[in-house]
Chain A
Amino acid sequence: MPNSKVNNFVIRFANVNGTGSASANYLCAKAIFRMGIPVTPKNIFPSNIQGLPTWYDVRVSEKGYLGRREGVDIMVCVNPQSMPDDVRSVRSGGYFIYDSTKALHPELIRSDVTYIGMPLMEMCLREFTDPRQRQLFKNIIYVGALVALLDIEFEVLEQLLAEQFEGKEKLISLNIKALKLGVQYIHDNFSFPLEIRLERRDLVGDKILVDGNSACGLGAVYGGATVVAWYPITPSTSVVEGFETYAKKLRIDPETGKKNFAIVQAEDELAAIGMVIGANWNGARSFTATSGPGLSLMNEFLGLAYFAEIPTVLIDVQRTGPSTGMPTRTQQSDILLAAYASHGDTKQVLIFPSTPKECFEMTAESFDLAELLQTPIILMTDLDLGMNDHMSEPFVWDDSKPYDRGKVLDAQQLEELPRFGRYLDVDGDGITYRTIPGTHPTKGSFFTRGTSRDEYAAYTEDGSVYARNMDRLLKKWDTAKDIVPAPVLYQQENKSPYGLIFFGTSTYSAEEAMDEMEVSGTVFDAMRLRSFPFNKTVEDFIHSHEMVFIIEQNRDGQMRSLLINELNVNPQKMIAVLNFDGMPITAQFISTRINKTLSPAINTEAKI
């Protein structure tokens, strides 16, 4: 019988923002990952640079569940501001590790929690002289304590520090010293390891630990993006920073030393998307990254790109809205805004990655899709996926697959063409041929405009010509349905009257909830959406189930609304499971809500 307390817990670090704690906490998470144990770190940070409380959760799961879990088994609290709340959030039977330089207030003592006090401040003052070091190494000392308490392998940490500070021997030895101080203090004062602890496993395989935003940035490098325009906004900023970091390594011309890319920090999001549209129009692959407020601003331009049919790639790292909302918390709440972005009849292609691997490959694929479909492609990720590290399948790239630049005519093709019609549906799929400026001296030039025009791009106010064009755009939309990433079905054949639909970061917890509910006797079929427009598989899945639960992270059930609006399905059987408090959805939340719907007779109070 495996010990349920081994490799199965949540440890939370409570720190003060701006004290360098995140890297120490990450070090701890990475060490667990290197010990072959599945791990999920989540940084819960304030909209602040320095001084406010910040938390860092590390979930360790032998079973490989990567969603967030409520309940803290071990609290490492080095922030007096949040201490009362932090004590309260520890599970009964859990541990509270704190800085005992200052005595704990008697009101904070719980009889069902084990307290482990270490005089972190005092130790730092004694051992280090530099003020910054005194602050930073406080974090490393508690990591050292965890080495003893949780059985983290010391050699793994040594190796990680050696990699992180390669060539900076002094820093490495100072960090090792701080780690050892922590280990020694536990050895001298407490019994160890704790009952809740780690054991090396081989459950990680070739997986990687990376955040979604870096993966998107790398995906854009691989997808051939050359022009990047952006305006800083949390939580999307690190997408462009990721692109820049990789591009500086991988995209410098070896002969000239010049950059095979251009990054422009725009004056606002309107300008950022305008630049992206201008660059794509001119034949470069170009993208921007933003979050909800930026997406709101970009709406007018997205309408232009839709109507004038200009490839555009936009990465929306969603955060909690409306308005400024909770800018450092997660949500999936831009779905309707993105799906119908801009005035008039518009429909935008959305892509929903749920892992860093998908962030990488779907970003790269978005450039193909944008050029194939000559329309904006909006990659809908979120703060949780974008800014937190996730254990993910490794990135994969097929060298034999050329970029698909879509229907672009070159000088030779133009030469042979009797007459070029920019908006002429030659192939009957609603996708027309375009030309890049500068291609041919006398053929292929046309006027790109947001006003109505005929098949030859000439301005027109003829209603029937306008309507014909709008109908063709719908035909293109139908063509898109089987080009965009298909939904993932979890079963070959249906085995339940109940279906689950989820997407993006709700996936981890939805999968875990499915397992949980199956153990307690209810089996579900499931489908993970990966794109909009929805294809026939999506409609069939809904039709073939009596009841369908749509799991999402917003208040209004936006994906449910989109499904009902776009498909011929009965809204009565579409049940929304909605988490919108800004924290990533948990499996327990999902199963509780679903059980409540399926067994209304069970008194929920009696359950938990």
Chain B
Amino acid sequence: MTYIRPKFRHPDLPKNDLGYTTKEYEGSLSTLCAGCGHDSISASIIEACFELSIPPHRIAKLSGIGCSSKTPTYFLGNSHGFNSVHGRMPSVATGANMANRDLTYIGVSGDGDTASIGMGQFVHVIRRNLNMVYIVMNNGCYGLTKGQDSATADEGSKSKAGSVNPFQPIDLAGLALELGASFVAQSFSGDKEQLIPLIKAAISHQGFAFINVISPCVTFNNNPGSTKSYDYVREHIESTGKTDLVPEKTEILTSYESGTGTDVKMHDGTYIRLEKLAANRNPFDRMGAMNALQAARNRNEILTGLLFVETETENLHHTINSSERPLNSLLQEELCPGSLVLADINDELR
């Protein structure tokens, strides 16, 4: 079954700098369960790309396997998509990025896809600081196989069937910080006001940008006793402050009262505006972010917002000193040394 969205849109829909409405950024109708947190994240991705006026065809969206990995069908229908194999999206994204450094890469994964089968590739794509956005739609369970606990399920969290998870959870945001990720954020699918600017900032970031989004599974993990239910998350959420991305590449004139706001200048000239930043929070302080995350966990709170950013960062293309031009655009005459050079090579082997 393929769901096609009706073509009609309100004629007065707002347009972005490219003259596009959100219609150009939508995908097929979702086949996920009604109320699934993932659909809200898809909507946030659409809105973020629309607001940033990125030509949709200059985005590549990639995923692994699972409910979360189905979502790229439901956003950015004018972008090429790649639904790869379970847990291996990072490697496909790495190859794609090496081939063409000029596209925007948005990878979508789930907690099973990232924290279990894909853990190996997840940690290595962080190490390499690949220039991509990596969003985990984290619901603490395996939805497509009907609700088994995942590796991010909290210890003591109760499943729909009533069993209590006995294992320690893997904290993906904490892990990303520990491994040196250059952009780490955490959010909640039900908080678009926070999530959209975070996605925009992640796209503007010129390195590996990780967003762990708690995204309740309405069918299998939204029951009382679950720590990934809508009710639980709403009650236990704690924000680092309000975030916005200022796309104008002009000087920021706004000034804040001391201690209430910070503008973070990104490498591409945009600014992440952090308002009402919680006391003692510095977005450039990795250690502080790790401590704050752990402290929140100890209080049974979920710390959301931008946790850490390193704006001047070397991504994999810088590290390996590859061509500024996309490698997939190089021509045969630039790639093939030809028969005269080969004659010399033959001579060296005689």
Near A by CB (< 8 A), chain B positions 42-100 give 55-58, 60, 62, 72-73, 77-85, 88, 90-100
Given contacts A283-B100, A397-B338, A437-B100, contact A262 B92 (CB under 8 A): no
Given contacts A222-B336, A437-B60, contact A266 B91 (CB under 8 A): yes
Near B by CB (< 8 A), chain A positions 465-518 give none
Q: Distance in Å from the Cβ of B254 to the closest Cβ of chain A? A: 35
Q: Which of B94, B316, B332, B342 has the most CB of A within 10 A?
A: B94
Q: How many inter-chain contacts with C-beta < 8 Å in the A-B complex?
A: 230
Q: Please determine whether B327 and A262 come into contact, CB atoms closer than 8 angstroms.
A: yes
The stretch among B154-162, B287-295, B317-325 that forms the contact with chain A is B317-325
Contact residues in B for A210 (Cβ distance below 8 Å): 349
Near A by CB (< 8 A), chain B positions 1-47 give 1-2, 24
- Which of B1, B73, B85, B317 lies in contact with A301, CB distance below 8 A? B85
Q: Please determine whether A274 and B328 come into contact, CB atoms closer than 8 angstroms.
A: no
B339 interface contact, C-beta 8 A: yes
Given contacts A458-B2, A460-B2, contact A286 B56 (CB under 8 A): no
Chain B, residues 93-122, CB within 8 Å of chain A (1/0): the string is 111111110110000000000000000110
- Which of B57, B82, B321, B332 lies in contact with A440, CB distance below 8 A? B57
Chain A, residues 268-283, CB within 8 Å of chain B (1/0): the string is 1011111111111111
Contact residues in A for B339 (Cβ distance below 8 Å): 396-399
A100 interface contact, C-beta 8 A: no
Q: Distance in Å from the Cβ of B29 to the closest Cβ of chain A? A: 12
- Which of A218, A259, A281 lies in contact with B96, CB distance below 8 A? A281
**Cα–Cα distance between A256 and B324 once the two chains are bound (Å):** 9
- Which of B2, B79, B328, B342 lies in contact with A445, CB distance below 8 A? B79
Chain A, residues 382-404, CB within 8 Å of chain B (1/0): the string is 00000000000011111100110
Chain A's closest residue to B123 (CB) is A267
Q: Please determine whether B92 and A209 come into contact, CB atoms closer than 8 angstroms.
A: no
**Cα–Cα distance between A227 and B316 once the two chains are bound (Å):** 13
Q: Please determine whether A447 and B95 come into contact, CB atoms closer than 8 angstroms.
A: no
A580 interface contact, C-beta 8 A: no
B279 interface contact, C-beta 8 A: no
Given contacts A441-B57, A448-B80, contact A278 B92 (CB under 8 A): yes
- Which of A34, A261, A281, A437 lies in contact with B57, CB distance below 8 A? A437
**Cα–Cα distance between A278 and B94 once the two chains are bound (Å):** 7
Given contacts A284-B327, A438-B57, contact A394 B346 (CB under 8 A): yes
Chain B's closest residue to A458 (CB) is B2
B253 interface contact, C-beta 8 A: no
Contact residues in A for B95 (Cβ distance below 8 Å): 227, 229, 264, 274-282, 286
A442 interface contact, C-beta 8 A: yes
B299 interface contact, C-beta 8 A: no
Q: Distance in Å from the Cβ of B329 to the closest Cβ of chain A? A: 8
- Which of B78, B83, B102, B323 lies in contact with A451, CB distance below 8 A? B83
Q: Please determine whether A442 and B337 come into contact, CB atoms closer than 8 angstroms.
A: no
- Which of B83, B90, B320 lies in contact with A449, CB distance below 8 A? B83
- Which of A34, A282, A442 lies in contact with B328, CB distance below 8 A? A282
Contact residues in A for B341 (Cβ distance below 8 Å): 250
Q: How many residues on B have C-beta within 8 angstroms of the other chain's C-beta atoms?
A: 61
Contact residues in A for B85 (Cβ distance below 8 Å): 274, 300-301, 304, 450
**Cα–Cα distance between A280 and B56 once the two chains are bound (Å):** 21
A92 interface contact, C-beta 8 A: no
B146 interface contact, C-beta 8 A: no
**Cα–Cα distance between A278 and B320 once the two chains are bound (Å):** 18
Contact residues in B for A461 (Cβ distance below 8 Å): 1
A439 interface contact, C-beta 8 A: yes
**Cα–Cα distance between A258 and B316 once the two chains are bound (Å):** 13
Q: Distance in Å from the Cβ of B155 to the closest Cβ of chain A? A: 28
Contact residues in B for A451 (Cβ distance below 8 Å): 83
A251 interface contact, C-beta 8 A: yes
**Cα–Cα distance between A386 and B37 once the two chains are bound (Å):** 52
Contact residues in B for A442 (Cβ distance below 8 Å): 24, 57, 78
A340 interface contact, C-beta 8 A: no
Q: Please determine whether A226 and B99 come into contact, CB atoms closer than 8 angstroms.
A: yes
- Which of A208, A282, A438, A447 lies in contact with B346, CB distance below 8 A? A208
**Cα–Cα distance between A351 and B346 once the two chains are bound (Å):** 24
Contact residues in A for B90 (Cβ distance below 8 Å): 271, 274
Chain A's closest residue to B342 (CB) is A397
Q: Distance in Å from the Cβ of B268 to the closest Cβ of chain A? A: 18
**Cα–Cα distance between A218 and B341 once the two chains are bound (Å):** 11
Chain B's closest residue to A226 (CB) is B327
**Cα–Cα distance between A460 and B2 once the two chains are bound (Å):** 7
Chain A's closest residue to B91 (CB) is A274
Q: Please determine whether A278 and B91 come into contact, CB atoms closer than 8 angstroms.
A: yes
**Cα–Cα distance between A447 and B334 once the two chains are bound (Å):** 31
Given contacts A262-B322, A450-B85, contact A208 B349 (CB under 8 A): yes
A260 interface contact, C-beta 8 A: yes
Chain A's closest residue to B94 (CB) is A275
A547 interface contact, C-beta 8 A: no
Q: Please determine whether A286 and B334 come into contact, CB atoms closer than 8 angstroms.
A: no
A162 interface contact, C-beta 8 A: no
A221 interface contact, C-beta 8 A: yes
Q: Please determine whether A448 and B336 come into contact, CB atoms closer than 8 angstroms.
A: no
A253 interface contact, C-beta 8 A: yes
Q: Please determine whether B349 and A259 come into contact, CB atoms closer than 8 angstroms.
A: no
**Cα–Cα distance between A461 and B350 once the two chains are bound (Å):** 59
Contact residues in B for A276 (Cβ distance below 8 Å): 95
**Cα–Cα distance between A437 and B100 once the two chains are bound (Å):** 9
Chain A, residues 228-246, CB within 8 Å of chain B (1/0): the string is 0100000000000000001
Q: Please determine whether B120 and A264 come into contact, CB atoms closer than 8 angstroms.
A: no
A26 interface contact, C-beta 8 A: no
Given contacts A209-B350, A403-B332, contact A437 B83 (CB under 8 A): no
Q: Please determine whether B323 and A282 come into contact, CB atoms closer than 8 angstroms.
A: no
Q: Which of B62, B77, B79, B345 has the most CB of A within 10 A?
A: B345
Q: Distance in Å from the Cβ of A463 to the closest Cβ of chain B? A: 13
A372 interface contact, C-beta 8 A: no
The 8 closest A-B pairs by CB, nearest first: A278-B95, A274-B91, A284-B99, A275-B95, A437-B80, A279-B95, A278-B92, A282-B99
24 contacts between A and B (CB under 8 A): A208-B350, A223-B336, A227-B99, A246-B345, A251-B335, A257-B321, A258-B322, A259-B321, A270-B88, A271-B88, A274-B92, A274-B94, A277-B84, A278-B91, A278-B98, A395-B346, A399-B338, A403-B332, A437-B103, A438-B102, A445-B81, A446-B81, A447-B82, A451-B83
